[in-house]
Amino acid sequence: QQQVKQSPQSLIVQKGGISIINCAYENTAFDYFPWYQQFPGKGPALLIAIRPDVSEKKEGRFTISFNKSAKQFSLHIMDSQPGDSATYFCAASMTGGGNKLTFGTGTQLKVEL
Amino acid sequence: ETGVTQTPRHLVMGMTNKKSLKCEQHLGHNAMYWYKQSAKKPLELMFVYSLEERVENNSVPSRFSPECPNSSHLFLHLHTLQPEDSALYLCASSRWQGNYGYTFGSGTRLTVV
């Protein structure tokens, strides 16, 4: 019940296209859903996060869509650029019991020219 | 720099060696974490420290020994490791109460020969 399932494992998108990465969870107590971006040789960096009181959050070209009833959330990267090529992780945590994130398995995104 | 500094960046050690990984943060966070990242596997939480007390130990073999002398520093002492322990070891910090993103270091790439 602590798992966060992420798909796809890898994704190739043309420059200017939309990249979509999906995550699903089972634990309805989760109430914080961040996305992390990791470049080779670096640690993951917080990209954008959402709480379940909203269905969408947008920051620049990055948007999280959240569907509470389906227990799913997704990351959309609009106008994808080669510089977006990285591994993306979704995660989830719950209030109380400390700040412990459960991570998805990661999606390797490649944006081609 | 991300605010979390890990040293060394790369480490090659024999199976009989003893070495230590160091992590330092000056973000005012009161929780610190060790993660293991292996190829094609999800991030594995190893240890969690809150206010310098270990609050989680995810069935990690005793050849890994964490130490948190204060809220800014975290160590991972290594001894008699196995080749399958070769991985990227990531340190992260955050606020403990509430849901907040983690700040990760760039990791230590460990190779056990």
* Residue A66 backbone dihedrals phi, psi, to 5 degrees: -125, 130
CB atoms within 10 A of CB A97: 10
CB atoms within 10 A of CB A25: 22
- Residue B51's pLDDT is 80
pLDDT 10s per residue in chain B (113 long)?
Answer: 559 999 999 999 999 889 999 999 999 999 999 999 998 788 889 999 988 788 777 789 999 999 999 999 999 999 999 999 999 999 999 988 877 889 999 999 999 99
CA dihedral sign, ordered B85, B88, B93, B97: negative
How many Cβ contacts (< 8 angstroms) between chains A and B?
60
A42 touches chain B (CB under 8 A): yes
Q: B96 to chain A: which residues are within 8 Å by CB?
A: 98-99
Nearest to B104 among A31, A41, A43 (CB): A43
Nearest to A98 among B42, B92, B96 (CB): B96
**Which amino acid would we find at residue B107?**
G
Question: End-to-end CA distance of chain B, in Å?
Answer: 30
**Which amino acid would we find at residue B69?**
P
* CA separation for the pair B25, B31 (Å, rounded): 10
Do the chains contact at A100 and B43, CB–CB below 8 Å?
Answer: no
**Residues pairing with A37 in the sheet:** A45, A88
Answer whether residue A90 shows pLDDT above 80: yes
* Nearest CA-CA distance, residue B86 and chain A, Å: 15
